[in-house]
Amino acid sequence: MSRFFTTGSDSESESSLSGDEQVAKPVGGNFGKQPLILSEDEEDTKRVVRSAKDKRFEELTNLIKTIRNAMKIRDVTKCLEEFELLGKAYGKAKSIVDKEGVPRFYIRILADLEDYLNELWEDKEGKKKMNKNNAKALSTLRQKIRKYNRDYETQITSYRQNPEQSADEDDEKKSDDSEGSSSMDEDDDDGMGAAAFLKKKEGAGEGRGKFLKKIEDEDEEEEDSDDDEDWGSSDSESDSESDEDEGKYTSLASRFLKKTGTEEDKRVLEKKREEKAKKKQDRKSKRYEDDEDDNESGEWEKVKGGVPLVKEKPKMFAKGTEINHAVVVKKLNEILQARGKKGTDRAAQIELLQLLVGIAAENNLGVPIDVKIKFNIVASLYDYNPNLATYMKPEMWQKCLSCIDELMNILFEQPNIFIGENIAEDSENLSNNEQPYRVRGCILTLVERMDEEFTKIMQNTDPHSQEYVDHLKDEGRVCKIIDRVQNYLQDKGTTEEICRVYLRRILHTYYKFDYKAHQRQQGPAGDSKSEQDQAENEAEDSAVLMERLCKFIYARDRTDRIRTCAILCHIYHHALHDRWYQARDLMLMSHLQDNIQHADPPVQILYNRTMVQLGICAFRQGMIKDAHNALLDIQSSGRAKELLGQGLLMRSMQERNQEQEKIEKRRQVPFHMHINLELLECVYLVSAMLLEIPYMAAHEFDARRRMISKQFHHQLRVGERQPLLGPPESMREHVVAASKAMKMGDWKTCHRFIVNEKMNGKVWDLFPEADKVRSMLVRKIQEESLRTYLFTYSSVYDSISMEILSDMFELDLPTVHSIISKMIINEELMASLDQPTQTVVMHRTEPTSQQNLALQLAEKLGSLVENNERVFDQKQGIYGGYFRDQKDGYRKNEGGYLRRGGYRQQERQSNY
């Protein structure tokens, strides 16, 4: 029903149309007591007139509330969206902000958001777990907030210095704004005076103080109830009092002014206050007495707030329980049943097992029960990280090593204890002294898992940090444990277990260069300075150790994988110590290259590492062609880093998903086992240069010449494309510059580019016998430069003295004679040797450049005719034609007569 149909005067309707829907009773008149009859819709919805400032600030506070909610749930994407909206809303409120100043709550959210983002940014583990959208939003929002906060640096600094004061000022400002707007409305509607407004403001201040006050105990709730009893009354009483008061006051303002109480009223209030204080004191004394009674009973203890309570150790057994083998085994099984379940505290489980060891030792239950519990402790340490990718924490790792050491000490001290995986739990003997003790467990499995954990720790540690060096020191301890297990299993283990532990020993030995053995090979060692040096000199050579371990595996192993790994490690060790012929023969006899593609990825990585080491060994021995062939597959792929297990290449996400990337990271070789990739590439490029440059000079005009090394040609093309040729800086530029010098027959310049201080520091000094390698390189450069010179300039000479060639290339005369003789025998050089005069006489069969071009044209025409005949025969359905018996068109001989030595007589008669 509309308000215009209600009974009442005009003044009532006007007052009801005011901004506040509360109906005010006019002073005097009989119509004020009749209530207005309003419809339900009009009673529910109240019209509120708000200023533009309130509207803008409310919009800002709502956005800030949304941002804070998003911060709580770590939704950075939502924070970014709301922050952009907040900036736009603040831009709309710019005119109000210019008048009133920047609101404190706005400064607070800017400071808090920046601190929150910095905290997220520093949390590296949390960043890894973020999804892609959140991580992207984090970096974007961090940049935006840092840029945005530059305009408010002073306000943010003051807020951070005293955040509580800023909060108080903000609350005061908000209360002033809300009270100011409400007072304006009430003044317009009801004619409220200034005294009532001031009274409200005081009440608001008291309310804020009450909110910030710290609550000490629960008595305040009871005091509030007492206050309600003192001050409060029923609704009917308040209504009657208001009706009675209407006649007392002549104006509305006088009704709301502060009243001055009489002396009697003051005395009554004072009496009530005394009674309340007395009641409060009685309650406190009663509570204190109760606490003392509890303390006397010994159940409760009063402590100061903030002091952490010391946790008592969990009680393993009930009081008075007889501790025997059966009880301990039962408790052990109870603890192990919780293993792997969701919500199980793994650290607490390890503590319980260690406590159980102590209890067993206190009650003298014997060594076998200790062995059984220690097996389970080590297994629990391995299970502490449920994820395969994560590695053990340093304290857990040290615990694991100590526990395995203790276990090995017990097994060596007690030879009558037999352990094995095949021992069932029912057939275990932990207490009967008359029979041998039998405990279920496998020490080899624990040691293999320990070795894998060590590899994982090395993979996940920064290789350039001191932490990596500290972890690497543990390898000596790991090798010692493996050695002890090997000695134990040689007496009590099966052949299969011995092969497995031998392989672990091989894997920790094959990649290490034995400097002591190398020094003994060089000459007498002399007097050692310390006993440790003497012991190391007298110790078994790594070559003898590898030979003994690998031969046992070759003879006894029944699994192909262990034998394959042993062969590859043996070849690697031979190659590392310059035993080229043994390494080459072992590789060829094993025939691993035929079926290695069917092996699992870790074995393939080991094969690639072995082939690379074989190639480097061949290079050190001066076998340039063998070195190039061994390194060709790895270097030509362009993925040497990935194939050697030394890192992942950046590929598109389509080729490798996140799960595959995790698997490949677990296959990576630890940094201390890496092969230097720059040294590898340099060895390959220098080998390719020594083979390719003479070949290019010999087949300069051959249209069908093949490439020996595509990568080397690529580097040459890159060098030719450079517009400005400066002095070489990188290793590749040095090799390219040396190749250009060798092409001209200038061996000294070539030598200067290959062997210099920069190249020595990067590559050559990394070899064990660097001087021997450098002298080999100089000799090879001289020999290949001589061959290149003869190929390039043979058409210029009628004859040339070998003595002159010997002086030019600083080679002795027999070497020059040998090189030229080989070239003549292989028909690479059309010449003959005149022994009395020691000269090389050139045969004038070399075609001129015009003849070479004519021969190339004839060859191209022949191939064109052949293709034309093939197309014609295919259309006719017959293919038999003129060229069916000829492999290379009109040329029956592979070399053709474009070879540098001139064309032979039988090729002159070719019909084309």
pLDDT tens digits for 520-568?
776 654 444 455 555 555 567 888 999 999 999 999 988 889 999 999 9
**Residues 6 or more apart whose Cβ sits within 8 Å of residue 63:** 82, 85, 86, 89
**pLDDT band (50, 70, 90) for residue 291:** low
Top-confidence residue, 230 or 604: 604
The pLDDT of residue 34 is: 43
Maximum separation of any 2 CA atoms in the chain, in Å? 154
The pLDDT of residue 845 is: 64
CA–CA dist 669, 601 (Å, integer): 12
CA–CA dist 167, 111 (Å, integer): 13
Instruction: Quote the Cα angle for 436-442-448, to 5°.
Output: 150
Whether residue 705 is predicted with pLDDT greater than 90 in this model: the reply is: no
Query: What percentage of residues in the chain have a pLDDT greater than 90?
Result: 25
The backbone torsions φ and ψ at residue 834, rounded to the nearest 5 degrees and listed phi first, read -105, 105
**pLDDT band (50, 70, 90) for residue 684:** very high
The pLDDT of residue 6 is: 44
Q: What is the DSSP string of 16-76?
A: HTSSS-PPPPPSSSSSTTSPP---HHHHH-------HHHHHHHHHHHHHHHHHHHHHTT-H
CB 716 within 8 A of CB 693: no
**pLDDT band (50, 70, 90) for residue 39:** very low
Whether residue 21 is predicted with pLDDT greater than 50 in this model: the reply is: no
**Where do the DSSP E strands lie in 376-519?**
417-420, 437-440
Give the alpha-carbon dihedral of 782, 784, 787, 791, to 10 degrees.
-120
Whether residue 679 is predicted with pLDDT greater than 50 in this model: the reply is: yes
How large is the average pLDDT for residues 837-860?
81
Residues linked to residue 420 through DSSP beta bridges, in sequence order:
440
**pLDDT band (50, 70, 90) for residue 912:** very low
CA–CA dist 735, 690 (Å, integer): 11
Tokens of 487: 């000695």
Whether residue 637 is predicted with pLDDT greater than 90 in this model: the reply is: no
pLDDT in tens, 412-453: 988 888 888 888 877 777 777 778 888 888 899 999 999 999
Whether residue 366 is predicted with pLDDT greater than 90 in this model: the reply is: no
**pLDDT band (50, 70, 90) for residue 130:** confident
**pLDDT band (50, 70, 90) for residue 54:** confident
Residue whose structure tokens are 């793994």: 346
Top-confidence residue, 172 or 50: 50
pLDDT in tens, 464-480: 999 999 999 999 999 99
Whether residue 199 is predicted with pLDDT greater than 90 in this model: the reply is: no
The pLDDT of residue 539 is: 60
pLDDT in tens, 862-877: 889 999 988 888 887 6
Instruction: Provide the mean pLDDT of the chain.
Output: 76
Whether residue 216 is predicted with pLDDT greater than 50 in this model: the reply is: no
Query: What percentage of residues in the chain have a pLDDT greater than 70?
Result: 72
Distances (CA, A) of 788 to 174, 417, 690: 92, 74, 10
Which residue type does 409 have? N
Whether residue 205 is predicted with pLDDT greater than 50 in this model: the reply is: no
**pLDDT band (50, 70, 90) for residue 259:** low
Whether residue 241 is predicted with pLDDT greater than 50 in this model: the reply is: no
pLDDT in tens, 66-76: 999 999 888 99
Top-confidence residue, 240 or 335: 335
Q: What is the DSSP string of 540-591?
A: PPHHHHHHHHHHHHHHH---HHHHHHHHHHHHHHHHHTT-HHHHHHHHHHHT
The pLDDT of residue 483 is: 93
CB 565 within 8 A of CB 546: no
Whether residue 712 is predicted with pLDDT greater than 80 in this model: the reply is: yes
Instruction: Quote the Cα angle for 288-292-293, to 5°.
Output: 115
Distances (CA, A) of 378 to 161, 371, 374, 390: 51, 11, 6, 17
Distances (CA, A) of 612 to 30, 205, 436: 111, 82, 52
**pLDDT band (50, 70, 90) for residue 195:** very low
Residue whose structure tokens are 């530059």: 150
Whether residue 274 is predicted with pLDDT greater than 50 in this model: the reply is: yes
pLDDT in tens, 790-824: 888 888 888 889 899 988 888 899 999 999 999 99
The pLDDT of residue 57 is: 87
